[in-house]
């Protein structure tokens, strides 16, 4: 026999977006009935737990910078504010900086982004080429490098711990987590009415928030909503280098997009998005990619790392917004009560705090703390891309 339960808000997907939204809703209105439907409480394939966990102000779109400024604020006070029953989460927020190399071809865009970041009060430094080597003697910037931008506040944290903290806090405030597969979004007369579960049960609510990450577009399609969002496989490699740096290295991004940073335990994490990365729900991990393509490039920039061991790695999914590589946030204009948070294209983890707060404010019809209307789904219907030149 099928069963039906009624809530004020149902959130599909309990990753960083779903859990931060549940937390903000409950914090703002403890009387609300909020349910989060999550198919995998281990989060083994969630992008949140497979990410590089980087947070940076080095974006070129004002709102993305402001989102990260808010993330810094939240992460600094997170352990205290998210304690449940006196137990504080430990999130290991390391502000070890991000270093973006600049070449002649991206210099103008980098200068523009740098000026914008400065104008918004961010700490950001412009380094001439010599300074890169001075500060990080292992690095060998080639003649194609004119300098770098360094954001000293950028860094990384334990994504799983942050996710668990949002979830625990949301539950302590009254949110329900339902383990189940959302099979379809139900609508009637142009409004959301709930979610049909794969079991045949239905959870009803006038507000449905689709936080399904790389799976969000599939679920949106069940309500006739077509989103330009596709799952794209991205791989991360963990390296044990024979020569260890003297201290932590910033997340360093080469001109080609190859990036790496030090991790706890003396390891180095490295990745690179390439156009051949397959679209689909593919989690296979391919060490050949590192051996044949990435290692030679890495060893050119850090010659001391011509000896290293590939220890392990993993693959996760970006929810790539093929229109403009940016988030899609807010109510779908054609279905009342259906809210979306997807399309984060590889920089969503750091956006969780701001997105959770923003969606809760939209849903509760309160004034917004940070105006993120620029990410409205309306632009999808109008085929009007945002531009985030240079840095994604
Ligand atoms: C390799 C890699 C590196 C990254 N590095 C960074 C980084 O350094 N910084 C950064 O900010 N971002 C990074 N990201 C991106 C970031 O991880 C994502 O943007 C962010 O985690 C998205 O959160 P989410 O909650 O939308 O999705 P997810 O964490 O994927 O959560 C979605 C959840 O929804 C559930 N779900 C989906 N469909 C259904 C359904 N129908 N029914 C029930 N449950 C469902 C899934 O099981 C999943 O748990 C990276 C991503 C990857 C893969």
Q: For the whole prediction, is pTM greater than 0.85?
A: yes
The pLDDT of residue 243: 97
Name the packing angle between helices 352-363 and 16-28 (round to 10°).
50
d(CA 113, CA 102): 12
Please say which residue of 318, 351, 366 terminates a domain. 318
Alpha helices per DSSP H over the chain = 16-28, 47-50, 62-81, 107-119, 129-135, 159-172, 216-221, 287-288, 295-301, 352-363, 378-381
Atom of ligand 1 nearest to the CA of 341: 26
Look at residue 390 and tell me if it is in a domain: no
Please say which residue of 269, 303, 318 terminates a domain. 318
Question: Residues 179, 134: one domain?
Answer: no
Look at residue 391 and tell me if it is in a domain: no
Confirm or reject: Cβ of 202 under 6 Å from ligand 1.
no
Q: What distance in angstroms lies between residue 15's CA and the mean position of ligand 1's atoms?
A: 6
Look at residue 89 and tell me if it is in a domain: no
Question: Residues 260, 283: one domain?
Answer: yes
- CATH number, residue 108: 3.30.9.10
Q: Are strands 9-12 and 207-210 parallel, antiparallel or unpaired?
A: parallel
Atom 19 of ligand 1: nearest residue by CA position: 348
Q: What distance in angstroms lies between residue 163's CA and the mean position of ligand 1's atoms?
A: 11
Look at residue 93 and tell me if it is in a domain: no
- Overall number of domains in the chain: 2
Q: What distance in angstroms lies between residue 49's CA and the mean position of ligand 1's atoms?
A: 7
Question: Residues 25, 150: one domain?
Answer: no
Question: Residues 308, 259: one domain?
Answer: yes
Question: Residues 61, 198: one domain?
Answer: yes
Q: What distance in angstroms lies between residue 132's CA and the mean position of ligand 1's atoms?
A: 33
Question: Residues 142, 170: one domain?
Answer: no
Confirm or reject: Cβ of 330 under 6 Å from ligand 1.
no
Question: Residues 188, 298: one domain?
Answer: no
Q: What is the pLDDT of residues 34-76, one digit of tens each?
A: 999 999 999 999 999 999 999 999 999 999 999 999 999 999 9
Look at residue 310 and tell me if it is in a domain: yes
Phi/psi for 160 (5° steps) reads -65, -40
Please say which residue of 318, 342, 371 terminates a domain. 318
Atom 9 of ligand 1: nearest residue by CA position: 54
- CATH number, residue 74: 3.50.50.60
d(CA 38, CA 22): 12
Give pLDDT < 50 ranges for the chain.
Answer: 390-392
Look at residue 134 and tell me if it is in a domain: yes
* 8 Å CB contact between 68 and 55: yes
Domain hosting 125: range is 98-154+233-318
d(CA 317, CA 141): 31
Question: Residues 168, 206: one domain?
Answer: yes
Look at residue 219 and tell me if it is in a domain: yes
Q: What distance in angstroms lies between residue 216's CA and the mean position of ligand 1's atoms?
A: 10
Question: Residues 186, 297: one domain?
Answer: no
Question: Residues 307, 281: one domain?
Answer: yes
Question: Residues 269, 281: one domain?
Answer: yes
Q: 20: how many CB neighbours lie within 10 A of its CB?
A: 30
Confirm or reject: Cβ of 21 under 6 Å from ligand 1.
no
Question: Residues 169, 68: one domain?
Answer: yes
Query: Which residue from 363, 387, 371, 373 is spatially nearest to 329, judged by alpha carbons?
Result: 373
Look at residue 88 and tell me if it is in a domain: no
Could you give the 3-state DSSP secondary structure of residue 153? coil
Q: What distance in angstroms lies between residue 188's CA and the mean position of ligand 1's atoms?
A: 29
d(CA 343, CA 253): 22
């Amino acid at each position: 026999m099928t069963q039906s339960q009624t809530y004020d808000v149902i959130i599909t997907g309990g990753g960083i977006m779903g859990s931060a939204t549940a937390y903000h809703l409950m914090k703002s209105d403890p009387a609300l009935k909020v349910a989060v439907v999550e198919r995998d409480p281990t989060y083994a394939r969630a992008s949140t737990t497979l990410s590089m966990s980087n947070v940076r102000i080095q974006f070129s779109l004002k709102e993305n910078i402001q989102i990260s400024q808010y993330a810094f604020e939240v992460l600094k006070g997170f352990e205290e504010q998210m304690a449940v029953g006196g137990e504080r989460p430990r999130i290991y927020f390391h502000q070890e900086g991000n270093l973006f190399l600049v070449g002649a071809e991206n210099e103008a865009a980098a200068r523009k982004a740098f000026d914008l970041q400065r104008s918004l009060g961010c700490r950001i430094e412009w380094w001439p080429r010599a300074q890169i080597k001075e500060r990080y003697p292992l690095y060998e910037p080639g003649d194609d490098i004119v300098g770098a931008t360094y954001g000293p506040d950028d860094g990384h944290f334990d994504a799983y711990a942050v996710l668990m903290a949002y979830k625990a806090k949301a539950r302590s405030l009254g949110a329900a987590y339902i383990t189940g597969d959302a099979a379809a979004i139900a609508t009637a007369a142009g409004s959301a009415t709930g979610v049909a579960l794969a079991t045949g049960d239905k959870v009803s609510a006038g507000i449905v928030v689709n936080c399904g990450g790389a799976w969000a577009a599939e679920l949106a399609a069940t309500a006739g909503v077509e989103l330009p969002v596709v799952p794209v496989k991205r791989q991360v490699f963990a390296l044990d280098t024979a020569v260890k740096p003297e201290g932590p290295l910033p997340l360093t991004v080469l001109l080609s997009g190859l990036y790496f940073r030090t991790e706890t335990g003396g390891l180095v994490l490295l990745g690179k998005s390439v156009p051949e990365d397959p679209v689909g729900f593919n989690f296979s991990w391919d060490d050949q990619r590192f051996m044949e393509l990435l290692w030679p490039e890495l060893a050119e920039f850090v010659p001391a790392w011509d000896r290293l061991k590939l220890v392990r790695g993993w693959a996760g999914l970006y929810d790539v917004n093929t229109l403009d590589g940016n988030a899609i946030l807010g109510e779908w204009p054609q279905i009342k009560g259906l809210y979306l948070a997807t399309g984060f294209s590889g920089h969503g983890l750091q956006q969780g705090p701001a997105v959770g707060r923003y969606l809760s404010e939209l849903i509760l019809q309160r004034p917004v703390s940070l105006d993120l209307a620029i990410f409205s789904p309306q632009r999808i219907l109008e085929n009007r891309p945002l531009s985030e030149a240079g840095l994604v």
